[in-house]
């Protein structure tokens, strides 16, 4: 693998930190651009390959940021479904504004590669057939999905108009160590955190909402493969998931089996309006083009996450 210079926007966040470590371990140079310097430390064997840069994206000098990098990873996204629905205008202003700033910086430079993590769980909306393929129509039913879909439209636009090498990963429901349960994003991580603290888990509705859960180590390996693969004129959008649907009730059952005890669950009468009823992703394209496959099924992923959290590790060991 040819060594490259990678800029990771939001590299202190859940996805960004894991991608940074994988790239550094592979010998790439990584610059992490983040609003706040992370409190955690990166693994010892990676620190010589990782540079931290404190940047406010709203006022960033995009030309300077992208001047000397081979690949830009745009993982800086400020909202979750609940917060985006509460303030759609603010969500678009912040997130699409920074996306356009980045794209224009690459356009002025004369080209470049960008990796963008879209949301496989929200951009497809209510699925008419399962699983969703990359050519399934985008029909988000919440503002978060609408924002991610809008970013995809602009990425495709700049790809067509200016020849930017824009690559999109529609990621399922990621979980694992390093995910902040206070943000309210990631049911598996949230459930594990609350169960380990012997706190009550809240489920909205009957718990039969179906999601495609994928461990962060598998997400990171897919994004590294996507960022370092050969350019393609046809295959640049990929579903990244396990390809298997699991209900919230099944997550609770699996977690109880690993912990060997019952978990307190509070069941709210009604499901939330912004929750997609079912999300399962077809991952055949990623397997074929990227030579990638997820390695941790949900049961093993939960076991690994419990062990990592008990050891207070901010990264997955896998």
How confident is the prediction along the chain (318 residues), in pLDDT tens digits per residue? 678 999 999 999 999 999 999 999 999 999 999 988 888 899 999 999 999 999 999 899 999 999 999 999 999 999 988 899 999 999 999 999 999 999 999 999 999 999 999 999 999 999 999 999 999 999 999 999 999 999 999 999 999 999 999 999 999 999 999 998 877 678 999 999 999 999 999 999 899 999 999 999 999 999 999 999 886 777 899 999 999 999 999 999 999 999 999 999 999 888 887 788 899 999 999 999 999 999 999 999 999 999 999 998 889 988
Enumerate domains of the chain plus CATH numbers: 5-310 (3.40.50.720)
Measured N-to-C along each axis, helices 216-228 and 14-25 cross at an angle, to the nearest 10 degrees, of 60
DSSP summary character for residue 281: B
Using CB atoms within 10 A of its CB, is residue 106 exposed (0-12), middle (13-18) or buried (19+)?
buried
**Read out DSSP for 153-207?**
HHHHHHHHHH--EEEEEEE-EEESTT--GGGT--HHHHHHHHHHTTPPEEEETTS
Pairing label, strands 29-34, 265-268: unpaired
Return the pLDDT at 1: 60
Beta-bridged to residue 171, according to DSSP, are: 119, 240
> Is the pTM for the entire model greater than 0.85?
yes
């Amino acid at each position: 693998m040819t060594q490259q210079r990678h800029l990771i926007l939001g590299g202190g966040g859940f996805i960004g930190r894991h991608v940074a470590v994988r790239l550094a371990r592979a010998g790439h140079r990584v610059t992490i651009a983040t609003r706040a310097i992370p409190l955690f430390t990166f693994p010892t064997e990676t620190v010589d390959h990782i540079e931290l840069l404190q940047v406010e994206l709203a006022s960033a000098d995009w030309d300077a940021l992208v001047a000397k990098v081979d690949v830009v990873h745009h993982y800086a996204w400020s909202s979750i479904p609940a917060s985006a629905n509460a303030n759609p205008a603010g969500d678009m202003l912040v997130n699409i504004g920074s996306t356009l700033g980045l794209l224009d910086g690459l356009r002025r430079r004369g080209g470049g590669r960008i990796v963008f993590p879209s949301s496989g769980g929200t951009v497809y909306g209510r699925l008419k057939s399962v699983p969703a393929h990359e050519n399934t129509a985008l029909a988000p039913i919440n503002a978060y999905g609408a924002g991610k879909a809008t970013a995809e439209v602009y990425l495709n636009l700049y790809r067509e108009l200016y020849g930017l090498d824009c690559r999109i990963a529609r990621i399922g429901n990621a979980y694992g160590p390093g995910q902040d349960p206070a943000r309210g994003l990631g049911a598996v991580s949230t459930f594990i955190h609350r169960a380990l603290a012997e706190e009550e888990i809240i489920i909205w509705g009957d718990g039969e909402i179906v999601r495609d859960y994928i461990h962060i180590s598998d997400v990171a390996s897919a994004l590294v493969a996507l960022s370092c693969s050969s350019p393609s004129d046809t295959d640049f959008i990929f579903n990244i998931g396990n390809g298997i649907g699991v209900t919230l009730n099944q997550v609770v059952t699996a977690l109880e089996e690993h912990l060997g005890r019952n978990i307190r669950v509070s069941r709210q009468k009604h499901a939330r309006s912004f929750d997609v009823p079912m999300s399962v992703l077809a991952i055949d394209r990623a397997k074929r083009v990227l030579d990638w496959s997820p390695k941790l099924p949900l049961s093993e992923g939960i076991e690994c996450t419990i062990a990592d959290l008990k050891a207070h590790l901010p990264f997955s060991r896998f």
